[in-house]
Amino acid sequence: MTEEHNQQNNHNIDQNQDNPRIFAPHKLRGEQNFEWVKQFENLVADWYQLAIKSSAKAIHLHKGLNEPASVTSGSFSGGQPSSEVELELEPERYVPPSRPPNLQENSPWRWSLVWLGILGAFGGLGTAALVWLAALPPLPNCQQVSQLTVDGERLYCAQQAAQTGELPKIVASLELLKQWDTDHPLHREASRLIDGWSAQILANARIKMQQNDAKGAIEAIKHIPKTSSAYADGQAIVQEWRQQWQKGKDVFSKAQAAMKQQNWDEVSEQILVLSKFDHDYWSTIQTNVLSQQLGVERQARQLLNKAQELSKNDRYSGVKEAVILAQKVPPKTYAGADAKVRLSQWSKILLDAGFRQWNSAIAREPF
């Protein structure tokens, strides 16, 4: 009975091990019906079946070798067993391992990886597009601009030239763009640049005026096109400068005439009038010129007057001192021009006195 019972148990275990429905893991429920998920499920089921069979055989072999033998009948006589000895094996009770975790529980994690991969793909495409956009075409060669050069490159080269701030390059850039008609595709951008460059020309013209270069200032303003917003301002400034220039010249001429006549009070008054001009050239530069000239003229006139006082003495020594003093008068002054005339007269007097003395000396000498 024991042997039949053991064989029956082994037969049941083999049947259970060969039945995949008992040990196969639960299939995914719900909406996860992708083909690759099913394949993965079958692979896991086969793996578990193989593991279960191997475990069952190992347990069966281990217990068959280690459990002690039991005597069912008979007795010992004469040191020999009197009946048959059988090994009794208890029926195996196999407890299946815990089922694998439900694959459906990992579906959020799996979908996160899927979306992460999609986002990574889009991010890679965006990066590639950004790199493609950042790869700008080569800049045009502004040193070789010809009639065949497209207008976009002409506009770029004109901007580069005007950025130097040099008046000739600004004028050249402006002359290039003001030739474009109102229907030109780049007319709006060209108009904006022309307005900015016209303002720079006005600034350069003011500097030229302060440097006493009124002709250069007016010539620069002539390059401002009529379509520019700075054209009206340029024409008004030119008109104002011409009027102020003429007034400044008149005041300066009056001061020079008064200085020549030694009318120092009149000179000071004209200097005061000139200092009230709006333009720095007249109110500052020319006012300083007249003030310095006035000081030099007064000192030169004082030297000449003193020399004239000495020359009134008809003696040779007085005229000689007058000549020495008159030679110290600055030649580029109005007093210097008068001193030159006086020196000619006094030199003649000295020469005549010298001849007289020479003649007297000869007369006294005996032959």
**Two tokens, residue 296:** 């030099």
Residue 315: pLDDT over 50: yes
Q: For residue 341, is it within any domain?
A: yes
Q: Is residue 117 part of a domain?
A: no
The tens digit of pLDDT for each residue in 142-196 reads 655 555 456 677 778 878 878 888 888 888 888 888 777 777 787 788 888 888 8
In angstroms, the CA 218 to CA 34 distance is 85
Q: Give the span between the Cα atoms of 229 and 192, in whole angstroms.
A: 10
Domain extent at residue 173: 151-229
What gap in Å lies between CA 201 and CA 167, rounded to an integer?
Answer: 7
Is the model's pLDDT at 43 over the cut of 70?
A: no
210 is a domain residue: yes
Q: Average model confidence (pLDDT) for the chain?
A: 71
Name the residue type at position 253: S
Helix (H) or strand (E) holding 238: helix 231-260
Identify whether residues 225 and 290 lie together within a single domain. no
Q: Does a structural domain hold residue 112? A: no
- CB hemisphere CA count around 58 (13 angstroms): 6
pTM metric for this prediction: 0.47
* Strands annotated E in 13-151: 70-71, 76-77, 80-81, 85-86
- 285 shares its domain with 360: yes
Query: Last residue of some domain: 93, 109, 132?
Result: 93
pLDDT value of position 82? 41
Choosing from 229, 259, 290, the residue where a domain stops is 229
Q: How far apart are CA 343 and CA 358, in angstroms?
A: 22
Number of domains in the chain: 3
